[in-house]
Amino acid sequence: MINPEFLNTYLLSIVIFSLLLNTALALYGIFYKPHYIKKVICLTILSDTANTFAIYIGYRRWLNDGTINPRPPVLPTTEVSPGVLSQFLARAVDPLPQALVLTAVVIGLAVTVFLIFLGHQLYLHYGTLDMRRIRKLKG
Amino acid sequence: MISAETLIYLFMALAGIGSTVSVYYAVIEKDLIKAVIYSAIQSTFYALLYFLLMAPDIVLVYLPVAVGLIPGVLILLISKTERVEQDEESV
């Protein structure tokens, strides 16, 4: 029988590893993919991953019962009682990172819309959105 | 018997793995409409992750912005420009 504490920590480390992998894939897409729209898509993925990291580390109190890896708490019940609510208030994500991420999501939308209009103007001017072709079209 | 806490962590791990798979397909896909749809699937997994990480008010803003608005305007741009990313040798 697997120790449940070990299983929880293992499952949580999968989340961290997949977020790091997402960051690497998004950076690869931004730097090495030649198409403008693909670069914009990868930029939105990168900002979403950064926001998820900010939420991930933003807990008020991490469960640390003497183990090496502390884990963020979860509520394993749907019942609403004063005890559960006070537990939620004591341990949920802090309001400051939540407000930061909320603002970052909306500003990211504004930046993406600006980049999309920039891409439309680029297409009207050069007739293509491929960066390799635009590099050849000097003057 | 699996406990409820382990089940929540299991859903978080599944959302993480699903988001990585959809990011990989969004990066390597040549058809840009399909890449935008894979990016929207990744946003859905992230919204599930936010909900399970006890930040439900992020989900209320993130879900319409990242699943609805950004793919919408990207598809509008693709419809006005070009749809397929060209290969290296055809440039």
Q: Is residue A30 over pLDDT 90? A: yes
Q: Is residue A100 over pLDDT 80? A: yes
- For residue B70, the chain A residue with the least C-alpha distance is A109
Per-residue pLDDT tens digits for B30-82 = 999 999 999 999 999 999 999 888 788 889 999 999 999 999 999 999 999 98
Q: Is residue A59 over pLDDT 80? A: no
Q: Does A87 touch chain B (CB under 8 A)?
A: no
Q: Does A74 touch chain B (CB under 8 A)?
A: yes
* Dihedral sign for Cα atoms in the order B46, B52, B57, B59: positive
Q: Is residue A95 over pLDDT 90? A: no
What does the pLDDT read at residue A70? 52
Paired tokens of B66: 């990242």
The one-character DSSP state at B53 is T
pLDDT-derived band at A11 (thresholds 50, 70, 90) equals confident
Q: Does A33 touch chain B (CB under 8 A)?
A: yes
Q: How far is B45 from chain A (nearest CA, A)?
A: 11
Per-residue pLDDT tens digits for B13-28 = 999 999 999 999 999 9
Q: How far is A118 from chain B (nearest CA, A)?
A: 10
Our measurement of the distance from residue A80's CA atom to the centroid of its chain's CA atoms, rounded to an integer in Å, reads 30
More confident residue, A67 or B3: B3
Average pLDDT, chain A: 84
What does the pLDDT read at residue A32? 92
More confident residue, A70 or A31: A31
Indicate the residue of A12, A37, A55 with minimum beta-carbon distance to B78. Answer: A37
Distance between CA A41 and CA A52 in Å, rounded?
A: 17
Distance between CA A1 and CA A10 in Å, rounded?
A: 15
Which of B14, B81, B87, B89 to probe by mutation at the A interface, max A CB count within 10 Å? B81
Which of B53, B65, B78 to probe by mutation at the A interface, max A CB count within 10 Å? B53
Per-residue pLDDT tens digits for A103-137 = 999 999 999 999 999 999 999 999 888 988 888 88
The pTM score is 0.86
- Inter-chain touch A74–B52, beta carbons under 8 Å: yes
Per-residue pLDDT tens digits for A33-57 = 999 999 999 999 999 999 999 988 8
More confident residue, A61 or A104: A104
Contacts of A118 in chain B (CB under 8 A): none
Q: Mapped to the 3 state alphabet, what secondary structure does chain A carry? A: CCCHHHHHHHHHHHHHHHHHHHHHHHHHHHHHCCEHHHHHHHHHHHHHHHHHHHHHCCECCCECCCCCCCECCCCCCCCCCHHHHHHHHHHCECHHHHHHHHHHHHHHHHHHHHHHHHHHHHHHHHCCCEHHHHHHCCC
- For residue A117, the chain B residue with the least C-alpha distance is B77
